[in-house]
Each structure stands twice: as C-alpha cells, then as structure tokens.
Structure 1
C-alpha cells in the first residue's frame, strides 16, 4: 500500500529482475531529496535494497 513517503515506482522503473525473478520496485522518500529503492520478494522473505542516495535520482525525470 502506498503512503506519502512510500510508493511503487512506475513505467520503466516499476519492476526489476533479480536472480531471474521479476519483482515490484518501490521507493521510500527519506528526506526531500533522499531516496531508497527496494524490491520486496515476499516468497523468499527478502527485501533487496537496490539504491540508496541523498539526492533525487536524475535519470528518473
């Protein structure tokens, strides 16, 4: 469920392949610019952190 600081990414960034599995990709807004991108894998009970940065990722604009 999306909240004000956490939401699923859209478009080309909506999914990511990890270990041969297509996973949903989510973003958590830590600060005004800081982001953490992650992919939950519920069946494996794992969350893959794929990006953590202090600035907004410019390639998403």
Structure 2
C-alpha cells in the first residue's frame, strides 16, 4: 500500500513540475475538493477498523 501511495505522490510531483515549467494551468481540484477526497479515504479506511473494534467489543 505504501508503495502505491509513494508512486502516486511522486507521479503527481513530476506532473506538477512539468505543468509549472510549461506554464500550463493545473487541472487539480480546489483545496475543498482535496479535503473531500481525504475524507473519503479516511472513511474507507475507518470501516474495517470500526468493524473489527465492534466485533471485539460485542
């Protein structure tokens, strides 16, 4: 999982550098959109944790 995340981050950094050097506006969503994506990621990862916690405490 960490390898995929580092690959995605590295790819994003390289693309950002290319876009900036060519003066192409970034198609990335605004900051609030990125916060929404973070919330989705955290929510998806919370479900297995909550299920395990509930099964352990019931």
TM-score norm. by structure 1 comes to 0.28
Greater strand share, structure number: 1
Flag the structure with more relative contact order, 1 or 2, with Cα contacts below 8 A and sequence separation at least 6: 1
Greater helix share, structure number: 2
* Structure with larger Rg: 2
